[in-house]
Chains A and B, each alone.
Chain A
């Protein structure tokens, strides 16, 4: 199954770069959707079945639809080509490459001792449900309060101020 990982990794890289390079914000949003769906595929490859489907439902199916709605309603034209000066882009890319240069060998070296997957724990709905409702019940309940706060906040922020 290695070929599946390499194809998906290639799609993830290409779409990630597509997000930051596209001039039209709607193209960026579509590249990001492709990225999220492929990452869901990688989750399924790693036996995290519930998370793969949750990623498709929550990220690609709800958050990105919200972003697309906002983009379509605001009706933005293409960003002017002078988004940042060329020097800024080169410096940013340079810092990125320097960061990767330092981090990647560190990651490779510190995880050499693990020789491959253990007898994989299947991330099915049953297993994750068992954990969520016993060991992590407090963050789970708190997450619902967080979402309610977000809903109230979003509604409050986007109401128009009524004129007197």
Chain B
């Protein structure tokens, strides 16, 4: 079987890719997708450890992370749509004024 550190390494690499994406990209929707990538990496780490420790609570945690990610997706995309209506663009560098 594959040792658990392989799964954890994969999770760490995916998390880092997500962080670099959030920092580098300027399109809000792509930033949102990189956040989902980070959440996914954490989910993978939870499930891998749950399997290797023989405990199901890790999978319950993943269930709740998915619920929160779904709620955040709905609200975040609604915010992006409002931003697009106000500024006609979704670039993060355009949203630099309060009450803009």
A residues apposed to B, CB below 8 Å: 1-2, 5, 9, 12-13, 16-17, 19-20, 25, 28-29, 32, 35-36, 39, 42-43, 46-48, 50-51, 54-55, 58-59, 62-63, 66-67, 70-71, 74, 76, 79, 83-84, 88-89, 92-93, 95-97, 99-100, 103-104, 107-108, 111-112, 114, 116-121, 123, 127-128, 131-132, 135-136, 139, 143, 146-147, 149-151, 153-155, 157-158, 160
Contact = CB atoms under 8 A, between A and B. Distances in A.
A79 B55 CA distance: 45
B48 A46 contact: yes
The 3 closest A-B CB pairs, nearest first, are A118-B54, A20-B21, A150-B71
A104 B60 CA distance: 26
Given A9-B6, A118-B54, 14 more contacts: A39-B44, A46-B47, A50-B59, A51-B47, A62-B70, A70-B81, A76-B27, A83-B24, A84-B23, A114-B4, A118-B53, A147-B70, A157-B82, A160-B85
B96 to A, nearest CB: 15
Contact of B5 (A99, A111, A131): A111
B4 to A, nearest CB: 5
A95 B27 CA distance: 21
Nearest to B81: A158
Interface in B34-78: 34, 36-37, 40, 43-44, 47-48, 50-57, 59-60, 62-64, 66-75, 77-78
A5 B2 contact: yes
By secondary structure, the A interface counts as: helix
Contacts of A20: 17, 20-21, 24-25, 30, 34
Contacts of A131: 56-57, 60
Interface residues of B, number: 69
B71 A74 contact: no
B47 A71 contact: no
A107 B8 contact: yes
Given A9-B10, A120-B54, A139 B16 contact: no
B82 A92 contact: no
A128 B44 contact: no
Most buried by A among B17, B23, B55, B78: B17
24 contacts: A5-B2, A13-B14, A16-B17, A20-B20, A20-B34, A42-B44, A58-B66, A63-B69, A66-B74, A67-B73, A70-B81, A76-B90, A84-B23, A92-B23, A107-B5, A107-B12, A119-B54, A120-B51, A123-B56, A131-B57, A143-B67, A147-B67, A150-B75, A155-B78
